[in-house]
Amino acid sequence: MGHQKSGKHQHRGAQRERTTSTQQSIQLPKPENAIQIDGSIKEGGGQILRNAAALSAIMCTPISVEKIRAGRPKPGLRPQHLAGLRLVESLSSGRLSGGQESSSNIVLEPGALRCGDYDSNTGTAGSCTLLAQAALPCLLFFSPNGGRDTTTLDLRGGTDAAFAPPVGYMQHILLPMLRRLLDINVTEKLERRGFYPKGGGHMSLAVRCLAQGAKLPAFNLTESGDVSSIRVHAFAAGKLKGSPGGPPCVAGRMVASAVGVLRQNLGPDVNITTEVTEETEESAFGDGAGMLMVATTTEGCLLGASALAERGKTSDELGEGAAKALLEDIYAGGAVDCWLQDQLIIFMALADGVSSITCSRPTLHTETAIELAETMTAAKFTLKSPTPGLQEPWTITCKGAAIAKGALG
């Protein structure tokens, strides 16, 4: 349940409940109208939990998720997933059953969505941006509270973590595209970066809810255009910063390697700008380095690729790998990259009307998000593969469920 302290709804994710058992598979009682979800379908990871919890809260419909992460080396809920579920429980004034580490079954019974101040702390280096992914769709469907129509969300954990979009991706690609496509009012602020293993990062969101009875608009994002410019944002913190008079920092070497690959493939006409920030103790906790590349097209599309410093890989290898990943999406001819495609699925499913996007081959994350959306809502998706012999992208089309703010629950 949501807790309130000093005017804030406090949430401490993984710190709230822990268990020493390897996996909890207790059969949980569930409401008769709960939607049954198989947590092992397709990708079988945390995305199922994030999207299912968000849709449950928005539709005010209970869910029962079983076989959570059944095919993973450590099945069941990990601290990161539990933090996301606890956050949605708090946002919706709901009740979560089975909310312990390693649990393979959960039941979420959501309540009212009301504007306010909320926070969440993974207690680990778990990704802040994955928490934001679960929360953002919910925040749009909140109801005003005491005349207030904006909700603030304070998130703590890892801002630049493996197997999750870095905070820069949310800042420079996801949120700008959502503002453009959905005309929503959402702002973000990066307070401090945090890395594995201790986390310590801090970011915040402020989201204005939709008007009563409003629906998210359908959108068409199918024309990619040509790449006109690329911005490269990089950072280094702690021990990965350069020394005065010494060689460039880890991030600087990543950037040099990536720009070399991009120039070799795209030629001199594409404007490439770079920015390397050496973080202070106030702006980052721990040791880390990373890079985000954002390609802007003549149609206003944003395509991204990122790299994060890791043991066993040189800065050159990381920079080259990220540049090649960006080039793959550019050459695929889609209007969204391989990371944005799955993050847009839930918004397409909620929208009023027919939405379409073009992209490279749909990822397993995208296929999972589609199957879940069709299970929980009236949305219907179609995938069109490229015509043999032609260089064209895939097309994902959705007839949305037209969920109206305040129409359910």
The tens digit of pLDDT for each residue in 298-348 reads: 999 999 999 999 999 999 999 999 999 999 999 999 999 999 999 999 999
pLDDT on residue 245: 59
Across the range 388-395, mean pLDDT stands at: 90
Q: Where are the domains of the chain?
A: 3-208, 227-332
Task: Kindly calculate the radius of gyration of the chain based on its CA atoms and give it in whole angstroms.
Answer: 21
**Contacts for 92 with CB less than 8 Å, ≥ 6 apart:** 2, 56, 57, 60, 110, 111, 112, 113, 138
Residue 284: strand, helix, or coil: strand
Locate 384 and state its tokens.
């069109």
Cis peptide before 197, with omega less than 30 degrees from 0? yes
Q: Do domains 3-208 and 227-332 have the same CATH topology?
A: no
Instruction: Give the mean pLDDT of the chain.
Output: 91
Give the confidence band of 361 by pLDDT, cuts at 50, 70, 90.
very high
Instruction: Check whether 23 has a pLDDT greater than 50.
Output: no
In angstroms, rounded to a whole number, what is the distance separating the alpha carbons of residues 347 and 138?
11
Give the confidence band of 1 by pLDDT, cuts at 50, 70, 90.
very low
Reported residue count of the chain is 409
The Cα angle at residue 243 between residues 237 and 246, in degrees rounded to 5 = 135
What spatial distance separates the first Cα and last Cα of the chain, rounded to whole Å?
A: 18
In angstroms, rounded to a whole number, what is the distance separating the alpha carbons of residues 221 and 359?
10
In angstroms, rounded to a whole number, what is the distance separating the alpha carbons of residues 41 and 49?
11
Give the confidence band of 28 by pLDDT, cuts at 50, 70, 90.
confident
The answer regarding whether domain 227-332 maps to CATH 3.40.50.970 reads: no
Q: Name which residue leads in pLDDT, 195 or 249.
A: 195
pLDDT on residue 389: 79
**Which positions are annotated as active-site residues?**
365
In angstroms, rounded to a whole number, what is the distance separating the alpha carbons of residues 306 and 338?
12
pLDDT digits over 183-237, tens only?
Answer: 999 999 999 999 999 999 999 999 999 999 999 999 999 999 999 999 999 999 9
pLDDT on residue 13: 41
The class of domain 3-208 in CATH terms is alpha beta
Residue 382 CB neighbour total at 10 angstroms: 12
Question: By the 8 A CB rule, do 94 and 108 touch?
Answer: yes
pLDDT digits over 253-271, tens only?
Answer: 999 999 999 999 999 999 9
Across the range 153-176, mean pLDDT stands at: 96
**Contacts for 103 with CB less than 8 Å, ≥ 6 apart:** 19, 23, 24, 25, 26, 68, 76, 77
pLDDT on residue 29: 80
pLDDT on residue 391: 85
How far CA 382 is from CA of 197, 338, 392, 397, 398, in Å, comes to 41, 17, 17, 5, 6
